[in-house]
Structures are given as structure tokens and as C-alpha cells.
Amino acid sequence: MTETITERVQEISEVRGLSKSEIFEQAFERGVEILWIDVVLSQYLDGEIDRDTAIELVGRDQIKRAEREVEAVEDDVQWGLDA
């Protein structure tokens, strides 16, 4: 897959029946949302904001997933140290 962004936008535009500018707007909004979630999760995991605030900002599912991921990493590290 060596498609350029322009080619991908063109294909999405054709498949979805949307203008290229609408595709770029949606992509920008999704990208900002992803970055926002990353920032909030980082702040929560670094102890800069509390759990309730983080849940209010990005939702309980995002926080629970982040906590499970941290727990999995910690378990892997402990397993490695015990080996």
C-alpha cells in the first residue's frame, strides 16, 4: 500500500459521497479527539488530574482501558523480574 494521502482522500470521498473538504474536516476532528484523549490519559496516569475528572473528560471506558493496559505492563515487568 503506497497510496498517498491525496489518493486515500479521493477514494474515501468517492466511497462516502462526500467532498474532499468534508473528508479533511472529519479527519482533523478525529485526529484532535485522539490527541485529546492521549493528553487526558497522560495527565491521569501521571497523577496530574484525578480519576473522576479524567472520566468526566474522556469517559469511563477510556479510563478503564488505560488502567488495564498499565496493569498488564506492570504484570509483564514483574514477570520479567521474577524470571
pLDDT at 1: 61
Give the number of domains in the chain: 1
Residues (pLDDT < 50) of the chain are none
For the whole model, what pTM was predicted? Answer: 0.79
CA angle 27-60-36, nearest 5°?
35
Strand, coil or helix: what is 38? helix
pLDDT at 27: 96
pLDDT at 41: 98
pLDDT at 2: 75
